[in-house]
Amino acid sequence: MRAKKAPAHIRESWVGTSWIVEMTATGTRDGRLFQATHLFLTSLRTTPEALLKLVRDRWSIECWHWIRDSQIHEDTHRYRGNGAGALASLRSAALHLLRLAGFQSIRVGMQAVMHDITACWRWRCVSQSPRRAETFNQP
């Protein structure tokens, strides 16, 4: 991530703009490498370091929300009252259990236990090896 002062022509076009932030994300999707660059304009008057921390914090929240929405379709649920909070807590617990069981992918973890609820109970017996997910295939 980088941040630099917005040039004069941008500050004139977008009054109040003080920084341009460039974020480059890299990783793998479907076994292929990818790189994406995102540019942000902001009017926050702060140091580049503080600005970069704000962007990182925001993206970490968005990544978590994206997992919740794309994998368990949380945004489509229309629960109201206390039930909404209770079900959100249960979904959070399920996602955390999948991570603790060693699944790097929530989708793979959900598919592993989707039709075999007893697999969930085997989590407490899983060894501390880094390849915990393999224990789900054992009889």
CA 126, 128, 133, 137 torsion-angle sign:
negative
| pTM for this entry | 0.49
Span of 8-12, 56-60, 93-97, 107-111 with lowest mean pLDDT: 56-60
Residue 42 in domain: yes
Residue 101 in domain: no
Write down the mean pLDDT value for the chain.
77
Per-residue pLDDT band at 95 (split at 50, 70, 90): confident
Residue 93 in domain: no
- The reported pLDDT for the residue numbered 133 is 45
Residue 108 in domain: no
Residue 119 in domain: no
Residue 128 in domain: no
Q: Considering its fold, how many domains does the chain have in total?
A: 1
CB of 126 within 8 A of CB of 101? yes
* Residue 10 domain boundaries: 2-76
